[in-house]
Amino acid sequence: MRPIDTVTVALTGASGLPYGFRLIETLLEAGKRVWVLYSQAAQVVAKQEMDITLPSRPADVAAWLAERYRPSDGQLRVFGREEWFAPPASGSNPADAMVVCPCSMGTLAAIAQGMSDNLIERAADVSVKEGRKLILVPRETPLSAIHLENMLKLARLGVVILPPSPGFYTHPKTVADMVDFVVARVLDQLDVPHTLAPRWGQETQR
């Protein structure tokens, strides 16, 4: 597996924005370069779930994230949904890995069909065709046969389908603990060391 230095993190309109923001934070803390993409629906969910007003302009989002997470120079970039000259839009300069977190069923369906109507879909399409790690964190329940068929199609292409299903064997005490459990599973898939959650067999405090 190639070393993962640059990760594209896409935020879509599914419930679960706390997972996405926590993932961005932990990747930056781990010294990874992060490219952030986001949909208009993600802006709505950010306000509803986290009372965060996510700006519309990518430059403003980048400034907001920089103030929140304090990345080093050049470590964080944010691209707009129609920014076709952005690095993740081309197979000549893709990220080492991409995570769509959370991933809406509409985005998942578009990726499964090879659509590229916006930068998120195009970046995912590039990840598949270039054989780069692509992780989808789909948040929906119950799942229809359409959803399951799309997930199976992508899984057969090597895409990692990682539903946000926190385990309770770690005895989480807060919502943040449950968020960290899921983010830890994503980091494991990226081979990024972390201490977000105890591993199976490790003693946990009760």
Cα-flanking dihedrals φ and ψ of residue 29, to 5°? -65, -30
**Annotation-wise, does 206 bind a ligand?**
no
Is 106 marked as a binding-site residue? yes
Residue type, 44: V
Q: Is 107 known to sit in a ligand binding site?
A: yes
Rounded to whole angstroms, the Cα distance separating 156 from 142 reads 22
- Residue 26 known to bind ligand: no
| 139 annotated among ligand-binding-site residues | yes
Question: Is 114 assigned a ligand-binding role in the annotation?
Answer: no
56 marked as binding residue: no
Find, among 156, 157, 179, 154, the residue nearest to 166 by Cα. Answer: 179
Is 141 annotated among the ligand-binding residues?
no
Nearest to 36 by CA among 100, 92, 91: 100
Q: Is 169 annotated as belonging to a binding site?
A: yes
State yes or no: 39 annotated in a binding site.
Answer: yes
Residue numbering of the annotated binding site for dimethylallyl phosphate: 169, 185
Residue numbering of the annotated binding site for FMN: 13-15, 39, 104-107, 139
Residue numbering of the annotated binding site: 13-15, 39, 104-107, 139, 169, 185
